[in-house]
Amino acid sequence: MKMMIGLGNPGKQYEKTRHNVGFQVIDELAERFAAPPMQLKFNGAYTILHRPEGKVLLVKPLTYMNLSGECVRPLMDYYDIDVNDIVVMYDDLDLAPGQLRLRQKGSAGGHNGMKSLIAHIGTLTFNRVRMGIGRPTGGMKVPDYVLSTFSKEELPLIEDMVQRSADACEEWLKKPFLEVMNTFNQQKEN
C-alpha cells in the first residue's frame, strides 16, 4: 500500500491559502481517481483507492499543520505502511510560486508540518514533493504570509503546480520515486 499525504490546515478559512497546497493535491487526486468519500479517523481525513497498481491511501491530516505527524504515524502503523511507500506534498517558501522539487530526504527547512512528520516518523529520509509558494515581501511576517491567499497573477502558476504534483504522484504508482523525481525535477517551469 502506498500513502500520499498532503499537508494543510482544516477549515474553510484555510482552503485557498498558501499553506494548503498539499491539501489541494490530495483533492485533485481524489477527483482524478473518483475516490470514495473521505473517512475521519486517526486525526485525519483519508480514503483508500483500489488501483491496478495496488492500494493507495490519500491523506489530509486534520491536526493543523504543526501536528501533522500525529495523524500520519498512526495511519502508517495501522496499515503497516513502510516509510519508503509514503510521499508528502507541502508548501515551500524557498521555491518560487509554481516551482516544484521532488526529494527523497532532507531537513524540515523551518517547516513546522515537516518537523512534526520527521519527529513522528523518526527519519529525514522519505519521499516529498516541495511546492513553491515564494517568500513574503514588504515586511509581511511568515505566519501571516502562509495563511494568505495567492494573488491573481500567481493563481495560474499554482493551479499548474497542483496538477504537476498530482501527475508526479500518479507516475509514482508505476515507477520508482527516484525515476519520477528525475523526470519532474528536469521539467521546465512556465
Q: Catalytic residue numbers?
A: 19
Query: How many other C-beta atoms are found inside a 10 Å radius of the C-beta of residue 108?
Result: 15
* Nearest alpha-carbon partner for 165 in 180, 148, 149, 144: 180
Residue 40 phi, psi (nearest 5): -110, 100
d(CA 178, CA 182) in angstroms, rounded, equals 6
Phi and psi for 113 in degrees, rounded to 5?
-65, -40
